């Protein structure tokens, strides 16, 4: 069995950052760095308090996202942090 894993590190701050988590993934693993990371489907959702929070130091596993569609999400943090993303 062959695994194609891509890992990226993103510097997250008070400016929202767009990430596409699709691209044929079977699993997406997100790990927050030193500060909480907010995740939303639209950057305007941050001002409406419609977002998920990935607490500092925690890991989130998304199992079998829709591989043929864009999985665009926006990330934001109140303090400088790092978001590690593994796509397998």
Q: List the CATH number of the domain containing 72.
A: 2.60.120.10
- Residue 1 in domain: no
- Residue 60 in domain: yes
Name beta bridge partners: 73. Answer: 19
Name beta bridge partners: 20. Answer: 72
Q: What is the pTM of this model?
A: 0.81
- Residue 23 in domain: yes
Q: Is residue 12 predicted with pLDDT exceeding 70?
A: yes
Q: What is the 3-state secondary structure (H, E, C) of the chain?
A: CCCCCEEEEEEECCCCEEEECCCCCCEEEEEECCCCEEEECCHHHHCCCCCEEECCCCEEEEECCCCCCCCEEEEECCCCEEEEEEEC
Which domain covers residue 23, as residue numbers? 6-87
- Give the total number of structural domains in the chain: 1
Q: What is the mean pLDDT of the chain?
A: 85
Q: Give the pLDDT of residue 28.
A: 85
Classify strands 17-20 and 52-54 as parallel, antiparallel or unpaired. Answer: unpaired
- Percent share of the chain, pLDDT over 90: 55
With bands split at pLDDT 50, 70 and 90, how would you rate the model's confidence at 68? low
With bands split at pLDDT 50, 70 and 90, how would you rate the model's confidence at 1? very low
- Residue 19 in domain: yes
């Amino acid at each position: 069995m062959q695994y194609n894993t891509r890992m990226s590190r993103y510097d997250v701050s008070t400016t929202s950052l767009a990430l596409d988590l699709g691209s044929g993934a079977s699993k997406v693993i997100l790990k927050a760095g030193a500060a909480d990371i907010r995740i939303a489907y639209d950057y305007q959702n941050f001002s409406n308090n419609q977002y998920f929070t990935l607490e500092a130091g925690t890991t989130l596993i998304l199992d079998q996202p829709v591989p043929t569609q864009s999985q665009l999400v926006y990330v934001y943090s109140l303090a400088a942090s790092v978001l590690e993303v593994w796509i397998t």
